[in-house]
Chains A and B, each alone.
Chain A
Amino acid sequence: MSERKNIIDMQQLMLRYPTGKVALSGVNLSIKQGQFVYLTGESGAGKSSLLRMFYGGFRPTSGQLHVQNTDMRKANMGTVRTVRRRTGIVFQDHRLLFSRTVFENVALPLRVQGWNKDRLIPRVRKVLEFVRLEDRLWSYPEALSGGEQQRIAIARAMMATPPVVLADEPTGNLDEDTARHVLNLLMGLNQLGTTVIMATHDLHLLKSHPGRIVQLHAGALVEDSYAR
């Protein structure tokens, strides 16, 4: 079996906020293509900050960070846009647009790449089939349950078939059964070859859904292991 490439690579990564607070310090980590990675740690450990750096939300203060072969410290806005187009993001609060239909929400990643609606409709239908919400194409998000809304957010994240999906506590607001279902979807996505990096507090989910566990504490990497 051929060695998989690193899709994310960082050395001595440091992030300091403009306020002076150090969010991450001296983090060394490599994530290979196709891995399922859990980012764990207490609140304020640096999980969300690390995820944000992966899509250019923050620029590293020092150290090296390469995401999809892009040096994120030196990347200009155009390059960051390219990385973002190849990255799916799932937020804890799903950040769906409530004034827009499910179709318009899910279509957004390819819409910003210039796809017209005739091309988008079959693609959105296909993605919604994956999350088993194909019958909700023209619904508005407010008509959906919390779990369904998060599934729509996952559908949106996978719309442009990105090599990486970043999920920031996607199960944080869900009950256990719904959370398990959402995690199943992310696992299914991972089995299709997508690298999934998920920040989570729900450690009990790791028993039923194994993966690589990267634990942060006070901005530093303290554990890197595999749960099977």
Chain B
Amino acid sequence: MPVKKNEPVNIHLPGGMNIPPFGIHQYLALIIVAVSLWALGSVWMGLQATGQWVGAWQQQVVLHVYLPQEHKKELKALQENLEAVDGVQKVSYVARENSAEWMQQWLGGSQLNVDTLAERLPETLLVHLLKHEENHFVIDDVRDVVKRTHADINQDELKLLSMRDILNKIEQFVWFATVLLILAMSLIVSNTLRMILLARADEVHLMRLMGAKEWFVRMPFVLEGMLLGATAGLLAWLLLWPWVWGSSEWLADSAIELHIASLLFPLLAGGAFLGCLGALIATARLVSPDSMENA
């Protein structure tokens, strides 16, 4: 059907930096990759929240050691023995006056006198550990020292420390899963582009016969893969927001502040990278008949 000269026409020139229009295959791949990236983003966001919850962001690990007042005479020896443990940075004594002051502040404007209560508090030592990978050995040593006296360690703090170890292991596993998923998603993108390549085999062949450079022929597919991956990354990031909104009350109660913006770049860049990787896999062997490129 002829069209008048000035009638607007949507021109899609092939090759080079021109990205072809998306079809059903690309939309399907987009959804699959977006859901996978969303799952990954959710796991990383969960790690971020748990990390904050267990205080993994803290530069220094501190343990409270309590010694009942009736064994106060053991305090000096205990402090010295704790300072001697390899991995302990320092051991400081928390004066009872400071505890009383803190308790008074904690009770706020009430007129209660905390002196009587403070007098019953155990002697408290703050054990500052150097932050390093083998903290659990140091903790065992601290525990041994404490066991030899009548003192006790704050059990909640120990639980949090063990949580940190578990979190570190989970993080390693999540890295492994991330790499695996990126490879799997690259193959999905590659498979999609392969179908598009088959559909455009004639076009590729013609362009080669007309002397097109290889980058000119392959670039649209690489750009398409990158665009597909980056769009999936953006979608995945947007899909993380319902998590944040749904758990906002719990997050506020737990004093957790999620930095969801920090996940935008990794998801976008990761998506673009896996899309590019998929495109390179798909176009690695781009064969055309009667063409020396095959030789």
Chain A interface (Cβ within 8 Å of chain B)?
A: 52, 55-59, 77, 80-85, 89, 95, 97, 100-101, 103-104, 107-109, 111-114, 117, 120, 135-139, 143, 160
Known: A55-B209, A108-B207. A114 touches B16 (CB 8 A): yes
- List, in ascending order, chain A residues with CB within 8 A of B210's CB: 84-85, 89, 108-109, 112, 160
- List, in ascending order, chain A residues with CB within 8 A of B216's CB: 112
A143–B1 Cα gap in the complex (Å)?
A: 7
A35–B218 Cα gap in the complex (Å)?
A: 37
Whether the pair B2, A58 counts as a contact (CB closer than 8 A) is no
- List, in ascending order, chain A residues with CB within 8 A of B95's CB: none
Partner of A112, one of B1, B15, B290, B292: B15
Q: A80-B211, A89-B209 are known contacts; what are 15 more A-B pairs with Cβ within 8 Å?
A: A52-B290, A57-B290, A85-B210, A103-B11, A104-B12, A104-B13, A108-B206, A108-B207, A108-B210, A111-B15, A112-B210, A114-B16, A136-B2, A138-B2, A138-B9
User: Would you call B295 an interface residue if the criterion is a C-beta within 8 Å of the partner chain's C-beta atoms?
Assistant: yes
Whether the pair A85, B211 counts as a contact (CB closer than 8 A) is yes
Can you name 6 A-B pairs with beta carbons within 8 Å?
A: A57-B290, A81-B213, A103-B9, A107-B13, A137-B3, A139-B1
Whether the pair A104, B3 counts as a contact (CB closer than 8 A) is no
- List, in ascending order, chain A residues with CB within 8 A of B213's CB: 81, 112
Whether the pair A81, B211 counts as a contact (CB closer than 8 A) is yes
1/0 contact string of B1-42 vs chain A (CB within 8 Å): 111010101011111100000000000000000000000000
User: Would you call B212 an interface residue if the criterion is a C-beta within 8 Å of the partner chain's C-beta atoms?
Assistant: yes
User: Would you call B157 an interface residue if the criterion is a C-beta within 8 Å of the partner chain's C-beta atoms?
Assistant: no
* B65 CB to nearest A CB, Å: 75
